[in-house]
Structure 1
Amino acid sequence: MSKNVIVFTGGGTAGHVTPNIAIMKELDQEKWDIHYVGSHNGIEKELITNLDIPYYAISSGKLRRYVDMENVKDVFRVVKGVGDARRVLKKLKPSLVFSKGGFVTVPVIMAAKSLNIPVFIHESDLTPGLANKIAQRFATKIFTSFDEAAAYFPKEKVQVVGSPIRRELFHGKANNGQSWLRFYDKKPILTIMGGSLGARKINEVVRESLPELQRKFQIVHLCGKGNVDESLVNLPSYRQLEYVNEELPDVLAATDYVITRGGSNAIFEFLALHKPMMIIPLSKAQSRGDQILNAKAFQKKGYCTVLEEEQITKETFLQELELLQKQASEMKRTMREATKTDAISVLVKEINQI
């Protein structure tokens, strides 16, 4: 029995890749032949090639929202990318292209449309990114994480499903996480995640607040590559880590409270795991403001507290953390009642129907 070919695409950030990986792991390998199209130098190349999935690099530009001479060059890069993608798709003859967003996906989706290949898009954020705004006209179906996001897409194409959550996160063991962290106290565990590159301001206020934090918590601080403070490595209830990979499910199973950025994939994972969270979204100076909207939507639904990055001081940080503790029980109850947290099952079913 011959397999159906499916091509995934998405890149630029880990948030555009890890949901694709979560879906790929759930597909029946006896039925689907999985391939990936991404950029030459994006993070997606490293993440996908580590999984031994065939990877095809294409030319791609960067979708800027401001006037820049590079925009002119990027038009030609995108056009070349469409040609690159057409050659790949004509060779593979996929039954479906599945896109998770990011600037590299635009040429792939345009190429798929020109070859009459069905295209599925998933939008994680409350408002669509520029890539998905462009790509929606070429899509067969569009799936969103947030109910509010559906309003930005054609009604006949869109379906709210939630965010694809990595299955392995549900199989973590708290005892294993505590042992790996060498945490033997009964104090609750606070996990602080600044994103894959860390966050300077968050890192600074966490370390400034350590005397107060250590009285109440055992702290896991994911501070980003190159951001470990060697002067603090021997503190008994403070673990600095550049990142966590295989051990993440166990660490999260042991975690009582989370401090995180406002990336959609991360906060939906914490929602699914029922982890009370404080969200510190990227500011508009650093992003298009999507994390702020994500955070406010979660706060409105009772899933988190929010601290704007511009408002971070030691005092505001500790005050918001105290509020998080007070609201934690109610947050967990609200999270357990939340719906649409098993997007993978829905997406896999839709893919299999192709």
Structure 2
Amino acid sequence: MKPTIAFTGGHHNSALVVAKELRKEGYQIIWFGHKFTSRGDKSLSAEYQEVTASNIKFLELKTGKFYRKSGGDWLMIAFGFIQSLLYLIRYRPSLIFSSGGYLSVPIVITGWLLSIPSLTHEQTVVAGWANRAISPFVRKILLTHESSLKNFPKGKSVVVGLPVRKEILSRKYTKAFSPPLIYITCGKQGSHVINQEIFPIIPELVKKYTVVHQTGANTETKDMEKARRLKDKLGDLRDRYQYAPYFFAQQAATYLRSAKIIVSRAGAHNSYELLVLGKRAILIPIPWVSHNEQLLNAQLVAKNTGSLILEEKDLTPESLLKAIIELGKSPKVKPSVKLPIDATKKIISIIHQYI
């Protein structure tokens, strides 16, 4: 039996691509992650659902965010280190693979104390707080973009790109929609902020488009229920509006590949996939993320695909509808950047060197 590899971090989509390939090679995989969408909410996270659907052992990890200063977070940080220690002693993986995010910090540092080697992957165009924090404790830092090289130790860092889901690259998931498709996707948790501004213009959009809307599953905001009530009011056009809390691999690939217009945040994975496919989008970056990385992602996508950036401070139903109309009328732009799509192979080759 081949050794066990532990996965953890904040970006599960690309890490799961790597985990699945390693499991095909016979490695045992365990996963430390978020079981629920957010603290206090009991909706199962997309991470939990996708990982467990892949028959990978999932272990819920609870910890605090290190860049916050509240007493509650410090208690959760201490709990996270204790929980990480107990997990690693029990399962004793031969390697830890991190994809950044605050969950990775206690696992990687505790692993270092137990002499378990770690690798980490940075997905953003800058350098996430967590990956900078754990960089002294990992053997290798794998980067998505060359622009990140200046932020990490040269001897440890190598540019590999971002693992892309096979479905995203497959033409069989391209579908013709009539009327054309608008795909609203806002990360694994959805976006209540964007939902509030998109709901009022859905009746106008379905006159000319098919609208597929990823609402998120948060039980506190009740956006799924709002989408249901809205659909019921659309009359003869109700079939043009489809919604779900989250779309998994094949559905997401179909909508992403087939959409005429995409409305989304500007996370690392979504931005990379838009660039790979050359898709145009209206990008609404999260304004409070570390180092304003989503705005930088959005600027990269806009520069190379003709996408539009709509900052959250300017977001209203009127401004969003105006941007959709403008993007719908503008000509397509041929992407001016070519990103690597063989990152999975490169990462697995590096993993083999440390296990």
Q: How many matched pairs? A: 334
CA spacing shift, 1:346–1:326, aligned 2, 3 Å: farther
Shift of residue 212, structure 1, vs aligned partner? 4.4
| Alignment partner, residue 130 of structure 1 | 129
| Structure 2: distance between partners of 1:4 and 1:263 | 32
In structure 1, the residue matched to 2:2 is 3
Output one character per residue of 1:181-223: Cα deviation in whole Å (capped at 9) or x when no partner.
xx5x3x4211111333433342243333345434443222222
SS of 2:65 mapped into structure 1: coil
Per-residue Cα deviation, 1:250-309 (whole angstroms, up to 9, x for no partner) = 33332222111111112212222222112111222x776332232123334446221001
Q: Against the structure 1 CA distance between its residues 193 and 115, is the aligned structure 2 distance closer, same or farther, given a 3 Å change threshold?
A: same
Q: Cα 1:242–1:39, aligned 2, differ >3 Å: closer, same or farther?
A: closer
Hey, what does 2:254 align to over in structure 1? 250
Equivalence map 1:103-118=2 (5 Å): 103-118=102-117
Matches within 5 A, 1:120-159: 120-159=119-158
Distance in 1 between the 2:297 and 2:60 partners?
A: 31
Match of 1:264 among 261, 268, 273: 268
* 2:28 counterpart SS class: strand
- Contact 2:180/2:209 (8 A) holds in 1: yes
Aligned to 1:77: 79
**Are residue 315 (structure 1) and residue 310 (structure 2) matched?**
no
* 8 A Cα contact 1:172 1:252, kept in partner: no
Deviation at 1:93, TM superposition (A): 4.5
After superposition, the C-alpha distances for 1:66-89 in whole angstroms (9 at most, x for unaligned) are 43112442453244135224413x
Find 2:213's aligned residue among 194, 212, 221.
221
Q: Residue deviations 1:101-141, cap 9 Å, x none?
A: 22222222113223333311011223333322211111111
SS of structure 2 residue aligned to 1:196:
coil
CA contact (8 A) 1:63 1:131 kept: no
> Which among 238, 241, 261 is matched to residue 238 of structure 1?
241
Contact 1:194 1:222 in 2 (8 A): yes
Distance in 1 between residues matched to 2:130 and 2:214, nearest whole Å: 29
Partner SS for 2:327: helix
SS across alignment from 1:334: coil
The amino acid of 1:137's aligned partner reads: P
Q: Secondary structure at the match of 1:63?
A: coil
CA spacing shift, 1:241–1:46, aligned 2, 3 Å: closer
Counterparts in 2 of 1:276 and 1:41: CA distance versus 1, 3 Å: closer
Map residues 297-312 of structure 1 onto 2, 5 A cutoff.
297-302=300-305, 304-312=307-315
| Distance verdict in 2 for CA 1:219–1:57, change over 3 Å | closer
TM-score scaled by length of structure 1: 0.82
Mapped partners of 1:19, 1:303: distance in 2: 25
- Residue 346 of structure 2 corresponds to residue 346 of structure 1: yes
Q: 1:36 to 1:224 in 2, by over 3 A?
A: closer
Distance 1:129 1:194 in 2: 20
Q: Which runs of 5+ in 1 are unaligned?
A: none
Equivalent position of 2:28 in the other structure = 33
- TM-score, normalisation: structure 2: 0.82
Instruction: Output the amino acid matched with 1:164.
Output: P
Aligned partners of 2:23 and 2:50: how far apart in 1? 20
Output the CA distance in 2 between the equivalents of 1:45 and 1:242: 14
Please give the alpha-carbon distance, in whole angstroms, between the structure 2 residues aligned to 1:78 and 1:214: 46
- Mean alpha-carbon deviation: is it higher for 321-330 or for 39-48? 39-48
Give the match for residue 21 of structure 1.
16
Give the partner amino acid of 1:133.
R
Residues 84 and 221 (structure 1), Cα distance of their counterparts in 2 relative to 1, 3 Å cut = same
Mark the CA change 1:207 to 1:48 in structure 2 (over 3 Å): closer, same or farther. closer
- CA drift of 1:174 comes to 5.2
Unpaired stretches in structure 2, ≥5 consecutive residues: 38-44, 218-223
Distance 1:303 1:146 in 2: 20
Deviation at 1:243, TM superposition (A): 2.5
Does the aligned pair in 2 maintain the 1:63–1:130 contact within 8 Å?
A: no
